[in-house]
Amino acid sequence: MKTNQCRPDGDIVLGIDIGGTGIKGAPVDIRRGQLVGERLRIPTPKPSTPAAVADAVAEIAAAFDVAGPIGVTFPAVVRQGVIRSAANVDRAWIGIDAAALIGARLGRPVIVLNDADAAGLAEMTFGAGRGRRGVVAMVTFGTGIGSALFLDGRLVPNTELGHIIVSGEDGERLAAGSVKTREMLTWKQWSKRANAYFARLESLISPDVIIIGGGLSKDYAKFIGLLRTSAEVLPAELFNDAGIVGAAVSALDADDRADA
C-alpha cells in the first residue's frame, strides 16, 4: 500500500538519496525545487551490497505514488551510471552499472549521480548558489565529506575533494560529520579541523564561494563564527534535502534528453 500520495505529473519527480548510513526519498516539485510531502528515510543496509541497496531503494519508491523516471544519488564517483569508487559503501559496488541495476529492480528509468554533485546542482538552481558566478564549491559534511565544483554555474562532476590530504590524513577522516559525532568533538574542536581542511581546499582551487551542506548544515549557526576562510561561506538553503532535489531534477533532465 502506498504511504504517500501526490499527483504524478511532469512537475513531480521522485528523488532518492543514498548515503552511508541512511537512504531517503521524496517526491519533488522540480519547478520550485521543493519536496512534496514528508520524506521517507530508512537505514542503509549492512552490508551495503548492490542487491541490498537496490531492495532498499525499491522500498522507498514503492511508498510514493509517482510515475516516471527516478533520480538516485550515490556516495561515490559515478560515470554514466557506473560506480567507480566506494569510500562509504560496500566495495562490491565498484564497476556496477547502478542505473541499470536499480532501473531493472524498479522497472522504470533511473539516473544515478554522485550525491554531492546532486546537492550542488540543487543549491545552484534553487538555493544558496543561485546566480553565483566564478568558482563555487559545495562541501557536504555527513558520513564523509562530499564536494561539488562549479565554474560559472557549470558542474565539474565527481571532484571528490573530501579526500584531499590534510596534514597527511584523508580530509574526511579528519573532519566529516560522522567524525565529530564519533569522537564527541565540540564545535570549537571540529571547526579547527574544518579550517585545516578549508585551508588545503583553498590552496588547490581558490573558490570564490563555499556552500556548506550535508547533515551538519542544520547546525550552521553553531560554527559559522569559528570558520576562517578567504572565500565567502554560505549555508546550504535546502539543507539535507538538497540531494533529493538535485536527483529529481537530474532525472527529469535525463528523460528530456532521451526524448529529444
Torsion sign, CA atoms 253, 207, 114, 11 = negative
Q: Do domains 12-117+241-259 and 131-236 have the same CATH topology?
A: yes
Which residues make beta-bridge pairs with 111? 71
Question: Are 163 and 171 within 8 A, CB to CB?
Answer: yes
- Cell numbers at 184, concatenated: 564527541
CA dist 68 → 85, 203, 256 (Å): 28, 43, 11
Question: Are 50 and 101 within 8 A, CB to CB?
Answer: yes
Mean pLDDT computed over 129-144: 95
Q: What is the mean pLDDT of the chain?
A: 92
Does domain 131-236 match CATH 3.40.50.720? no
Of 73, 36, 54, the residue nearest 244 (C-alpha): 73
Q: Which helix (H) or strand (E) holds 149?
A: strand 145-151
* 3-class state of residue 62 by DSSP: helix
Q: What percent of the chain has pLDDT over 70?
A: 93
Say what the pLDDT of residue 9 is. Answer: 53
215 pLDDT tier (thresholds 50, 70, 90): confident
- Taking only the tens place, the pLDDT of each residue in 76-97 is 999 999 999 987 899 999 999 9
For 12-117+241-259, which CATH class?
alpha beta
* Torsions phi, psi for 31 (to 5 deg): -80, -30
- Taking only the tens place, the pLDDT of each residue in 20-60 is 889 999 999 999 999 998 999 999 999 999 999 999 999 99
Say what the pLDDT of residue 5 is. Answer: 44
Lowest mean pLDDT segment, chosen from 12-16, 54-58, 173-177, 251-255: 251-255
Q: Say how many residues make up the chain.
A: 260
pLDDT at residue 4 above 70? no
Question: Are 194 and 227 within 8 A, CB to CB?
Answer: yes
* Cα separation, 84 vs 94, whole angstroms: 5
DSSP 227: -
pLDDT at residue 8 above 60? no
* 3-class state of residue 215 by DSSP: helix
Domain residue spans of the chain:
12-117+241-259, 131-236
